[in-house]
Amino acid sequence: MKQTAIFNQETLGEVHGPYVQGTRYRDLFFTTQIGTLQNGDMISLDPYEQTLQTLKNAALALKEVGGTLSNVITCRIYLTDMNDYAQMNKAYRELMPNDPFPTRACVQVAGMIPEVKVEMEFVCRVDE
């Protein structure tokens, strides 16, 4: 079964480790994003702004395979502090298509890359 890696630093920005920005397998697309700008810098320390940028980055990754955020089936959200939940939710509601919202889970983690407060993992369906 053929799997296609998405790795486009020109469009999607720098990566912070040995990974690709997305993987397509048949009609499924997987990507994990954080709130970095195209140059690799974190947008800010604010969880609301990080969430908005994370969703924008996911939309860019989906665009590489002909999709949009409407193609998201499920989203896993990782927060370093559950006190940031309301701010994350506010940004999520603003950008995530909601007819219906995708299923999702949100958990607190002990830590991530320095300055990262929000990370999101997406499973999407994009027609072949």
If pLDDT is split at 50, 70 and 90, which confidence band does 38 have? confident
**What percent of the chain has pLDDT above 90?**
66
Residue in this structure with the two tokens 């407060």, named with its chain if needed: 117
Q: What does the block give as tokens for 68?
A: 């949009």
DSSP state of 36: B
**What percent of the chain has pLDDT above 70?**
88
Q: The domain spanning residue 97 has which CATH number?
A: 3.30.1330.40
Residue 104 has φ and ψ, to the nearest 5°, of: -160, 160
Identify whether 12 is part of a domain: no
Identify whether 16 is part of a domain: no
pLDDT in tens, 71-120: 999 999 999 999 999 999 999 999 999 889 999 999 999 999 899 999 99
Identify whether 15 is part of a domain: no
Identify whether 47 is part of a domain: yes
pTM equals 0.89
Q: What does the block give as tokens for 123?
A: 């499973």
What range does the domain containing 33 cover?
3-7+21-125
For residue 117, what pLDDT is reported?
A: 97
Could you tell me how many helices (H) and strands (E) the chain has, helices first?
Answer: 3, 6
Q: How many domains does the chain have?
A: 1
> Could you give the CA distance from residue 7 to residue 22 in angstroms, rounded to a whole number?
7
